[in-house]
Structure 1
Amino acid sequence: MLSEDLIKATRPMVQFDGLSLDVLDTDAQATFWRAALGGGTLRPEGPGRARIDKIPRRPDAEILRLRQMRSLPPDGARVHVDLRLPEKEPHALVDAGARVVRDPGAEPWYVLADPEGNEFCAYPAADERPAGIFELVVKCEQPRDLARWWSEVLGGRLEHEGEAVSVTGAPEFPWDYMVFDPVTDPRPVRNRLHWHVTLRDETPKDLIAHGARLISGPDVDEDGWLLEDPEGNRFHALRTG
């Protein structure tokens, strides 16, 4: 039998378990994001909460939870997704309720906003790679340090491209990259979009010892804890099962 020390050395602290988006109108946002993600099963998860998962031909951990809030902070897109379009132009997403914030130019992708103003990047179809989300982007002040922190938490390896640093190859991470992109301004408000992880252990003590900050929990509804990483990005840590 493997020792606990060996297990901890060869297995990540957590597994990635999808995204969570704060919304004002759960039903409307569920309709839009099911269209944007290419379908999936919509599951109620209590008052004002829903979950989209089991998206056809997509990884199991491609999950989007929607949590109704009374008010939302301004959206600075500090955390957002990048996706590939099935076509050259985003007509289907615009028809579903997206707004074009910026057309391709020097940067060859669209910036779109969902019906509540949450921005994301949409890349025109250019080859045989499938449509859908391919990376999660986190804008931060110290991308090298934060990417290293998350690679130690999730597993995977680091790739450098200019000043940006990505984590790739993390077990159970559903997309190609988790990108840490440099910005110079500190985070003004909480992110509307954040993510969930499933703990390997019964509590997040290892995460806290590693530098995460406990915000609240354990929460009966979520069966887990709300934490922040070293740059203040909030994430939910859930018990296994």
Structure 2
Amino acid sequence: MTAAPGRAPQRVSGGEPSLARFKDLCLDAVDPHALGDFWARILGGDLVDLRDGDTRVDGRPGPESIWVNRVPEPRTGKTRAHLDLRMDRPDPAGLLAAGARLLREPDDEVAWWVLADPDGNEFCAFAPRPDTAPGPFGSTPGPFELVVDARDATAQATWWAGVLGGRVDHDGDGAASVVGAAGFPWEYWVFAPVPEPKSVKNRLHWDVDLTGDDCTALLDAGATLLREPDDDIDWWILTDPEGNEFCAFAPQR
């Protein structure tokens, strides 16, 4: 079931979301305990065993933020969504000691380190700044932006700003960022331009809480429905106009 792709949802005034509120991140893993432990250690969070094979990384203090879900298949292909971390020291030695793998050092093109977690999921680490405030986990290193690859960065940012509220900013490299989205816990939600389309399932996806009783408004805005609530799940699984999976939850009554 697909609505007209690319049509931005109607925005409402006052900075409130028109259709949904950002809820949290979910990360696929063959071993959720091992991968959850890595992220809990580097973020200074608490690892919660959910007793169903999955884990969750909770901030200290802060909202539950990253769910680590068991899947049978290993990671294949490039991760199209990743976190950028602001470190509490000028190099990633602590991240490497915790089990990260170095993929790229700063050079003439980038001013940050590119690393991979134990499952091979890429993330970026930036040196600290004097004006950097602790992230939602209460300490640094901590996330300050979520980055998503996009064929059309402006269209993607505009679509999500319409869903969640906020404004769209642009930089000189073609990236577009959503700032001030409802419920979004980090400074920026960046859509970075890439030439290739999405070809495999994202290992990292986000959940949203709906403001309405179902996902009809999202479908009308251009989302695609992959799965409805059933005996196994009580949420909708959808994709945005570029095929990024996300889950939508009905309001708690």
TM-score, normalization: structure 1? 0.90
Matched, 1:20 2:26: yes
Counterpart selection for 2:36 from 30, 40, 50: 30
Q: Secondary structure in 2 aligned to 1:170?
A: coil
**1:184-212 per-position Cα deviation (integer Å, ceiling 9, x unaligned):** 11112111001010111111111111100
8 Å Cα contact 2:75/2:120 also seen in 1: no
Counterpart selection for 2:93 from 87, 91, 101: 91
**1:78-113 per-position Cα deviation (integer Å, ceiling 9, x unaligned):** 110101011111122111111111111121100010
Q: What is the correspondence of 1:69-108 to structure 2 with a 5 Å cutoff? A: 69-106=71-108, 107-108=110-111
Q: Secondary structure in 1 aligned to 2:219?
A: helix
8 Å Cα contact 2:224/2:239 also seen in 1: yes
**1:30-88 per-position Cα deviation (integer Å, ceiling 9, x unaligned):** 11010122223x333352212122x1255x3x600111111134141211010101111
Identical positions, percent: 43
The residue type paired with residue 244 of structure 2 is N
Matched, 1:146 2:146: no
**1:124-170 per-position Cα deviation (integer Å, ceiling 9, x unaligned):** 12323132100000111011111100000010001010211100011
Unmatched 5+ residue regions in structure 2? Answer: 1-10, 135-139
The residue type paired with residue 185 of structure 2 is P
Matched, 1:44 2:54: no
Matched, 1:229 2:240: yes
Match of 2:7 in 1: none
Match of 2:202 in 1: 191
The residue type paired with residue 35 of structure 1 is R
Q: Distance in 2 between matches of 1:192 and 1:71?
A: 10
The residue type paired with residue 32 of structure 1 is F
Matched, 1:215 2:226: yes
Match of 1:160 in 2: 170
Task: Kindly tell me the number of residue pairs found equivalent between the two proteins.
Answer: 230
8 Å Cα contact 1:159/1:167 also seen in 2: yes
Q: Distance in 2 between matches of 1:89 and 1:136?
A: 21
Matched, 1:125 2:135: no
Q: Distance in 2 between matches of 1:224 and 1:45?
A: 18
Over 3 Å off, 4+ runs: 8-11, 219-222
In the TM superposition, residue 221 of structure 1 has moved relative to its aligned partner by 4.9
In the TM superposition, residue 116 of structure 1 has moved relative to its aligned partner by 0.7
8 Å Cα contact 2:75/2:119 also seen in 1: no
Match of 2:60 in 1: 56
Q: Distance in 1 between matches of 2:44 and 2:87?
A: 10
Unmatched 5+ residue regions in structure 1? Answer: 1-7
Q: Secondary structure in 2 aligned to 1:218?
A: coil
Q: Distance in 2 between matches of 1:198 and 1:103?
A: 38
TM-score, normalization: structure 2? 0.86
Match of 1:111 in 2: 114
